[in-house]
Structure 1
Amino acid sequence: MQEKILTGVVLDENFRITLVEVCRIFEVSAERVIELVDEGVIEAEGREPQQWRFDATAFERLRAALRLERDLGVNPAGAALALDLLEELRRLR
Protein backbone atom coordinates (compact mmCIF):
# COMPACT_ATOMS: atom_id res chain seq x y z
CA MET A 1 0.00 0.00 0.00
CA GLN A 2 1.30 3.43 -0.93
CA GLU A 3 1.65 6.02 1.82
CA LYS A 4 0.32 9.53 1.34
CA ILE A 5 1.26 12.54 3.41
CA LEU A 6 -1.49 15.09 3.86
CA THR A 7 -0.70 18.67 4.69
CA GLY A 8 -3.04 21.49 5.56
CA VAL A 9 -3.18 25.25 5.72
CA VAL A 10 -4.85 27.10 8.57
CA LEU A 11 -6.98 29.93 7.20
CA ASP A 12 -7.87 32.92 9.34
CA GLU A 13 -8.48 36.64 8.84
CA ASN A 14 -4.71 37.31 8.84
CA PHE A 15 -3.95 34.63 6.24
CA ARG A 16 -2.00 35.91 3.23
CA ILE A 17 -0.13 33.85 0.67
CA THR A 18 2.10 34.84 -2.26
CA LEU A 19 1.73 33.87 -5.89
CA VAL A 20 4.72 31.53 -5.60
CA GLU A 21 3.16 29.79 -2.60
CA VAL A 22 -0.20 29.47 -4.37
CA CYS A 23 1.51 27.87 -7.37
CA ARG A 24 3.36 25.42 -5.13
CA ILE A 25 0.34 24.45 -3.03
CA PHE A 26 -2.07 24.00 -5.94
CA GLU A 27 0.57 22.74 -8.40
CA VAL A 28 -0.41 25.28 -11.06
CA SER A 29 1.61 27.76 -13.09
CA ALA A 30 1.78 31.46 -12.33
CA GLU A 31 0.22 32.08 -15.76
CA ARG A 32 -2.78 29.98 -14.75
CA VAL A 33 -3.28 31.96 -11.53
CA ILE A 34 -2.89 35.25 -13.40
CA GLU A 35 -5.57 34.09 -15.87
CA LEU A 36 -7.93 33.33 -12.97
CA VAL A 37 -7.30 36.77 -11.47
CA ASP A 38 -7.91 38.39 -14.88
CA GLU A 39 -11.18 36.45 -15.26
CA GLY A 40 -12.38 37.60 -11.82
CA VAL A 41 -12.34 34.13 -10.29
CA ILE A 42 -10.08 35.31 -7.46
CA GLU A 43 -8.86 38.68 -6.24
CA ALA A 44 -5.27 39.52 -5.45
CA GLU A 45 -3.99 42.28 -3.19
CA GLY A 46 -1.14 44.24 -4.78
CA ARG A 47 -0.37 45.87 -8.11
CA GLU A 48 1.95 43.41 -9.84
CA PRO A 49 1.97 39.61 -9.71
CA GLN A 50 5.27 39.68 -7.79
CA GLN A 51 3.55 41.74 -5.08
CA TRP A 52 0.28 39.84 -5.02
CA ARG A 53 -1.06 38.40 -1.79
CA PHE A 54 -4.11 36.17 -1.60
CA ASP A 55 -6.39 35.99 1.43
CA ALA A 56 -8.40 33.05 2.74
CA THR A 57 -11.37 33.86 0.49
CA ALA A 58 -9.20 33.85 -2.63
CA PHE A 59 -7.54 30.62 -1.46
CA GLU A 60 -10.89 28.86 -1.08
CA ARG A 61 -12.26 30.26 -4.37
CA LEU A 62 -9.14 29.10 -6.19
CA ARG A 63 -9.45 25.63 -4.70
CA ALA A 64 -13.09 25.45 -5.78
CA ALA A 65 -12.40 26.86 -9.26
CA LEU A 66 -9.67 24.34 -9.93
CA ARG A 67 -11.99 21.52 -8.84
CA LEU A 68 -14.78 22.82 -11.11
CA GLU A 69 -12.33 22.86 -13.98
CA ARG A 70 -10.90 19.43 -13.23
CA ASP A 71 -14.14 17.62 -12.39
CA LEU A 72 -16.62 19.35 -14.69
CA GLY A 73 -14.52 21.01 -17.40
CA VAL A 74 -15.76 24.49 -16.43
CA ASN A 75 -13.78 27.37 -17.96
CA PRO A 76 -12.56 30.33 -15.84
CA ALA A 77 -15.52 32.58 -16.73
CA GLY A 78 -17.94 29.79 -15.84
CA ALA A 79 -16.10 29.13 -12.58
CA ALA A 80 -16.30 32.82 -11.65
CA LEU A 81 -20.03 32.85 -12.33
CA ALA A 82 -20.66 29.61 -10.42
CA LEU A 83 -18.65 30.78 -7.41
CA ASP A 84 -20.38 34.17 -7.36
CA LEU A 85 -23.79 32.48 -7.47
CA LEU A 86 -22.84 30.08 -4.67
CA GLU A 87 -21.61 33.01 -2.59
CA GLU A 88 -24.88 34.89 -3.19
CA LEU A 89 -26.87 31.80 -2.23
CA ARG A 90 -24.93 31.50 1.04
CA ARG A 91 -25.58 35.18 1.78
CA LEU A 92 -29.30 34.77 1.20
CA ARG A 93 -29.52 31.84 3.60
Structure 2
Amino acid sequence: MTEQQDIQLTFEEIVCACDNNIDWVVSVIEEEIISVHGKPQQASYSGFQLSRIRRAHRISRDFEASVPATALILQLLDELETLRKGG
Protein backbone atom coordinates (compact mmCIF):
# COMPACT_ATOMS: atom_id res chain seq x y z
CA MET A 1 0.00 0.00 0.00
CA THR A 2 1.40 3.39 -0.92
CA GLU A 3 1.23 6.40 1.33
CA GLN A 4 -1.17 9.03 0.05
CA GLN A 5 0.42 12.43 -0.54
CA ASP A 6 -1.31 15.48 0.92
CA ILE A 7 -1.27 18.78 -0.90
CA GLN A 8 1.02 21.51 0.36
CA LEU A 9 -0.01 25.15 0.22
CA THR A 10 1.72 28.43 0.91
CA PHE A 11 0.49 31.15 3.25
CA GLU A 12 -0.51 33.22 0.21
CA GLU A 13 -2.67 30.36 -1.10
CA ILE A 14 -4.36 29.99 2.29
CA VAL A 15 -5.02 33.74 2.42
CA CYS A 16 -6.43 33.64 -1.11
CA ALA A 17 -8.89 30.93 -0.01
CA CYS A 18 -10.11 33.33 2.72
CA ASP A 19 -10.95 36.37 0.61
CA ASN A 20 -7.39 37.72 0.87
CA ASN A 21 -7.87 38.64 4.54
CA ILE A 22 -4.37 38.29 6.00
CA ASP A 23 -5.34 39.60 9.45
CA TRP A 24 -8.19 37.09 9.74
CA VAL A 25 -5.93 34.17 8.78
CA VAL A 26 -3.30 35.23 11.32
CA SER A 27 -6.04 35.55 13.98
CA VAL A 28 -7.24 32.02 13.17
CA ILE A 29 -3.71 30.73 13.67
CA GLU A 30 -3.30 32.68 16.91
CA GLU A 31 -6.62 31.24 18.14
CA GLU A 32 -5.25 27.76 17.29
CA ILE A 33 -8.06 26.86 14.91
CA ILE A 34 -5.18 25.52 12.84
CA SER A 35 -1.67 25.06 14.13
CA VAL A 36 1.48 25.85 12.23
CA HIS A 37 5.15 25.40 12.90
CA GLY A 38 7.10 28.63 12.81
CA LYS A 39 5.90 31.91 11.35
CA PRO A 40 2.59 31.70 9.48
CA GLN A 41 4.00 33.47 6.41
CA GLN A 42 6.77 30.86 6.08
CA ALA A 43 4.81 27.74 6.99
CA SER A 44 3.54 25.05 4.67
CA TYR A 45 -0.16 24.15 4.94
CA SER A 46 -1.86 20.80 4.37
CA GLY A 47 -5.15 19.97 2.72
CA PHE A 48 -6.62 19.30 6.16
CA GLN A 49 -5.61 22.79 7.32
CA LEU A 50 -7.12 24.31 4.17
CA SER A 51 -10.37 22.43 4.79
CA ARG A 52 -10.46 23.54 8.43
CA ILE A 53 -9.72 27.18 7.69
CA ARG A 54 -12.34 27.26 4.91
CA ARG A 55 -14.89 25.80 7.33
CA ALA A 56 -13.93 28.43 9.90
CA HIS A 57 -14.25 31.13 7.24
CA ARG A 58 -17.78 29.97 6.34
CA ILE A 59 -18.82 29.93 10.00
CA SER A 60 -17.31 33.34 10.60
CA ARG A 61 -19.00 34.81 7.52
CA ASP A 62 -22.40 33.10 7.83
CA PHE A 63 -22.87 33.78 11.54
CA GLU A 64 -20.86 37.02 11.67
CA ALA A 65 -18.83 35.33 14.40
CA SER A 66 -15.61 36.67 15.82
CA VAL A 67 -12.52 34.48 15.58
CA PRO A 68 -12.80 33.35 19.26
CA ALA A 69 -16.49 32.50 18.73
CA THR A 70 -15.60 30.63 15.53
CA ALA A 71 -12.97 28.63 17.43
CA LEU A 72 -15.57 27.68 20.07
CA ILE A 73 -18.12 26.67 17.43
CA LEU A 74 -15.53 24.47 15.70
CA GLN A 75 -14.53 22.90 19.01
CA LEU A 76 -18.17 22.04 19.75
CA LEU A 77 -18.66 20.64 16.24
CA ASP A 78 -15.53 18.50 16.66
CA GLU A 79 -16.83 17.15 19.98
CA LEU A 80 -20.23 16.41 18.45
CA GLU A 81 -18.60 14.53 15.58
CA THR A 82 -16.53 12.49 18.05
CA LEU A 83 -19.64 11.61 20.05
CA ARG A 84 -21.49 10.55 16.90
CA LYS A 85 -18.62 8.24 15.99
CA GLY A 86 -19.00 6.59 19.38
CA GLY A 87 -15.74 7.68 20.84
Higher relative contact order (CA 8 A, sep 6+): 2
Does residue 31 (structure 1) correspond to residue 12 (structure 2)? The answer is: no
* Aligned-pair CA distance for 1:57: 2.4
One of 3, 7, 22 as aligned partner of 1:15: 7
For structure 2, the residue ranges without an aligned partner over 5 or more in a row are none
Q: Deviations over 1:32-81 (max 9, x none)?
A: 2111100122222x311232122222212211111112111111111111
The answer to whether the 8 A contact 2:18-2:25 is kept is no
Tell me how many residue pairs correspond in the alignment.
81
Alignment of structure 1 residues 14-93 onto 2, 5 Å: 14-44=6-36, 46-93=37-84
* Aligned-pair CA distance for 1:82: 0.9
**RMSD value, Cα:** 1.8
Identity %: 28
Q: In 1, distance between residues paired with 2:81 and 2:5? A: 19
2:76 alignment partner, SS class: helix
TM score, norm. by length of structure 2: 0.77
